[in-house]
Structure 1
Amino acid sequence: MMPSTYPLERDLGMRYYASETPGIGGRLRSTPADFVVEELPLPIPDQEGPYLICRLTKTSWELQRAVREIARHLGLSHRRISWAGTKDKNAVTTQFISIYDVPPEAVEGVHLKDISLEVVGRSQHPLSLGSLAGNRFEIVIRECLIEDLPARVQTVTEAVSAGVPNYYGVQRFGVIRPVTHIVGEKILKGDYEGAVAAYIGRAYPMEPLDVQQARTRFLETGDARAALADLPVRLTYERAMANHLAANPGDYAGALRVLPPKLLSLFVSAFQSCLFNHALSARIDAGLQLNEPEIGDRLLFENGREDVVTARNHQAARIQIRRGRCRIALFIPGAEPVRVYGPMDDIMRDLVQRRGIEAADFERASRFVETAFSGALRAISLSSNVEAQVSGTDVRLRFSLPPGHYATTVCREYMKAEPYLMI
């Protein structure tokens, strides 16, 4: 394992690379076409139902904004549109959405720049997060370091095939403004004023200077009316929160609730993701392997079945992992109390306790956000058979990943570059 030297990655718990070869450097997303994502759907049932299933292809659109624009053109609430997975903004992405109670001809009449919609079926049920088979990627890393480039690429390709740390990628937290997990922690603690202050007021150096100044002024003064005058119109969420506070001074909970429910949910789940990253790096600190089970490790099978490694099944667990039938997993805590089976559960429990978070906090947040945070297992290693091609100083990668895994986690193994070069 090689340590990361980048402060942002270390703050987010992404402290190691699996491969020790020097990085190839380079830049992701020189153009949106350099980052192509195709969602691999679960079988779409051939049935009638109130939910229209559509294939959405977009270029350089943030998903929430695209959904709002589609809903506006259809004349309906954006809450009637659901999806199986979020996708990158600075990319060309194809994914599936479900729209409640709308005729196909209405969808065919939606014309938006860099967005296309195609009706592919109907369903009795809406799509929900995670209800997909995976994602297929074709990514070009440009302007790579030429020294030993083919050899470095080959070494990392072999490492990715064997398994790398399955970190939640930087975009889970926001690269320009890595603030979502901070807001989530404030919500968990019931500090709604702190959550609003963090979301509106935390300034980051990659933002335009006028935005940094507007955020800093709000953080220092808490003046919502001044924030409305200072914040650019494009910061719609921040302005909506400030507008609520200007009309309802002191109602910080209400200011948060003007945000889309899915965004509120993202804050809390981002904090859970940060916990996972830190716990995974703590495992590596302790000298424990990604694919060698310890007594008390949890196992997650491909079909979703869970198990725990014991002295009795230890050897069988090693064989199952080597055959790719299961992976070592970490339990990400929520309203469900952490049951301690082994060293990783101890590590996670200590992390949560140091943050002053309890299961009851997740229960309260679930009621506030109207989303259940019961806790979940996540595999600690990610692997994929990457097809890599080197052309001059460009490297093209083709690979597929299961749901919830990050392509940038693969790319960072190759690049070992400043996270801002991956936005």
Structure 2
Amino acid sequence: MKPSTHPLEIDLGMRYYATSQPGIGGRLRTTPEDFVVEELPITFTNTGPYTICKLTKRSWEHQHAMHEITNRLRISQKRIGWAGTKDKNAVTTQYISLYNVPAEAAANLNIKDMTIEPVATHQFSLGLGNLLGNRFKITLRDCEPNDLAKNTAEISGEIAAGIPNYYGLQRFGALKPVTHKMGYHILRKEFKEAVDLYVGGCFPYESEQVQTARKNFAETGDAKTALYELPPWLSYERIMLDSLAKNPGDYGAALQAMPPKLLSMFVSAYQSWLFNIALSKRCEENAPLNEPRVGEHLEFTNGRVDTVTEKNIATARQHMKRGRCFIVGWMPGKTLPVAPGPLEETMFAQMEKDNISMQSFADATEFVKTNFDGAHRRISLATEVETAVFENNVQLNFVLPPGHYATTVAREFMQAAPEKMV
């Protein structure tokens, strides 16, 4: 394992690379067409009250896109569902469900840089993870020319063997990486601190006008003035500020005015950060990703989870070599179905340091109206990456299961500063 030298990656828990080769550098997303993702859908029932639409969009932030669709249809945001969130600076194809919306109404929507095609009906709303996977076509431009083809091929081979399955940068906010910190404050019931961070926190890629408005709010807490000064496109900040202007001092209500699915993402981002921290500690200990340790948990392809013991570790190794199971870590929530192993102990140690408990997740469940039960996640990501080198550019083609991040693959090739990837 090779340590990252980038402060933001270190802060987000993405502290190691699995590849031994030097990075090829380059830049991702010079244009949205450099990051193309196509969702692989589940089989739909073709009966039921949900209209399933194939949604293709360019340069749309996910939550803003969902908000625009529901606004145009004049329906509640509770009536739209999706299987996975998609990047903004990209061309993405995914599937959404619309409850009791006629196919014609969806087909007649005319939204810039967006096409909506009704394709089926379904008995259920789509929820996170209701997909088979995602197919990616990524172009890295202006890479290091020396030995580019050789380094690209060798890195591709190492990725096929397995790399740390980190939650990628966009999980925490590409240009504003604070979603896990928002979750931290919500779990600690520090609602004012959460609002102050989201509205008053300055970020280097924003305009001088926006940074000035944020600084003014941070200094004065004046919601009405901030509403006047912040531009309309910062819609989530304005939702909080509108609530604060109407209910001064009620920061909890300001947070709850946010779209529920976005609010829940804050708490789940903290869970993701815990996972990254624990995975990096395992990498620091030079424990191979495909080598189980006593106390760790294995998830089999049929969903069964076993604990590695001194007695069964040899058998566990054989099962892993044959691809029958994978090492997983349990991201803490309000329940704990397994005895903590080394990965979980690292996460609980961080939670104790943060003064956050399992009860904190139970309280957040009530506040956000979303269950935070925790979940297993594989510690290793392995995929076959088809590569093509043309001049100083590299194209990557690969498929990932649900919940895995293409930027986690791209960073192994690039090993560049995170701002080169957004």
Give 1:341 shift: 4.3
1:92 is aligned to 91
- Is 1:8 paired with 2:8? yes
2:17 is aligned to 17
Q: What amino acid does structure 2 have at the position aligned with 1:64?
A: Q
Partner Cα separation in structure 1 for residue 124 and residue 50 of structure 2? 6
Partner Cα separation in structure 2 for residue 357 and residue 395 of structure 1? 43
1:29 is aligned to 29
Q: Percent identity?
A: 53
1:288 is aligned to 287
Partner Cα separation in structure 2 for residue 186 and residue 27 of structure 1? 33
Give 1:112 shift: 1.4
TM-score calculated relative to the size of structure 1: 0.97
2:38 is aligned to 38
Deviates further, 355-364 or 56-65: 56-65
2:379 is aligned to 380
Give 1:339 shift: 4.7
Q: What amino acid does structure 1 have at the position aligned with 2:109?
A: V
Q: What do residues 120-156 of structure 1 show as CA deviations (whole Å, max 9, x unaligned)?
A: 1111111111011100001110110101101110111
Aligned length: 422
TM-score calculated relative to the size of structure 2: 0.98
Partner Cα separation in structure 1 for residue 176 and residue 23 of structure 2? 25
2:209 is aligned to 210
Q: What amino acid does structure 2 have at the position aligned with 1:35?
A: F
- Is 1:266 paired with 2:251? no
2:419 is aligned to 420
Q: What amino acid does structure 1 have at the position aligned with 2:315?
A: A
Partner Cα separation in structure 2 for residue 365 and residue 347 of structure 1? 22
2:72 is aligned to 73
Within-5 A mapping of 1:184-199? 184-199=183-198
Q: What do residues 323-373 of structure 1 show as CA deviations (whole Å, max 9, x unaligned)?
A: 222211111001014754432232222111111111110000001000000
Equivalent pair of 2:45/2:123 in contact (CA under 8 Å) = no
Equivalent pair of 1:293/1:318 in contact (CA under 8 Å) = yes
Partner Cα separation in structure 2 for residue 317 and residue 35 of structure 1? 38
Give 1:319 shift: 1.6
1:327 is aligned to 326
Q: What amino acid does structure 2 have at the position aligned with 1:19?
A: T
Partner Cα separation in structure 2 for residue 114 and residue 207 of structure 1? 23
Q: What amino acid does structure 2 have at the position aligned with 1:179?
A: V
Q: What amino acid does structure 2 have at the position aligned with 1:316?
A: T
Find runs of 4+ consecutive structure 1 residues off by over 4 angstroms: none
Give 1:408 shift: 0.2
Change (3 A) 1:53 1:338: closer
Partner Cα separation in structure 1 for residue 337 and residue 223 of structure 2? 40
Q: What amino acid does structure 1 have at the position aligned with 2:398?
A: F
1:256 is aligned to 255
For the aligned residues, what is the CA RMSD? 1.2
SS of the residue 1:399 aligns to: strand
SS of the residue 1:367 aligns to: helix
Give 1:216 shift: 1.8
Equivalent pair of 2:278/2:344 in contact (CA under 8 Å) = no
Equivalent pair of 2:18/2:412 in contact (CA under 8 Å) = yes
Change (3 A) 1:353 1:337: farther
- Is 1:243 paired with 2:264? no
Give 1:69 shift: 1.8
- Is 1:312 paired with 2:311? yes
1:162 is aligned to 161
Equivalent pair of 1:97/1:127 in contact (CA under 8 Å) = yes
Within-5 A mapping of 1:370-409? 370-409=369-408
Equivalent pair of 1:9/1:419 in contact (CA under 8 Å) = yes
Q: What amino acid does structure 2 have at the position aligned with 1:28?
A: L
1:363 is aligned to 362
Q: What do residues 95-133 of structure 1 show as CA deviations (whole Å, max 9, x unaligned)?
A: 111100011111221111211111111111111110111
Q: What amino acid does structure 1 have at the position aligned with 2:8?
A: L
Give 1:316 shift: 1.7
Partner Cα separation in structure 2 for residue 408 and residue 326 of structure 1? 24
SS of the residue 1:190 aligns to: coil
- Is 1:224 paired with 2:228? no
Q: Structure 1: any 5+ residue segments left out of the alignment?
A: none
Within-5 A mapping of 1:130-149? 130-149=129-148
Equivalent pair of 1:338/1:349 in contact (CA under 8 Å) = no
Give 1:20 shift: 2.1
Partner Cα separation in structure 2 for residue 88 and residue 238 of structure 1? 20
Partner Cα separation in structure 1 for residue 340 and residue 224 of structure 2? 52
Partner Cα separation in structure 2 for residue 133 and residue 302 of structure 1? 14
SS of the residue 1:198 aligns to: helix
Partner Cα separation in structure 2 for residue 222 and residue 337 of structure 1? 39
Within-5 A mapping of 1:99-138? 99-138=98-137
Partner Cα separation in structure 2 for residue 161 and residue 134 of structure 1? 17
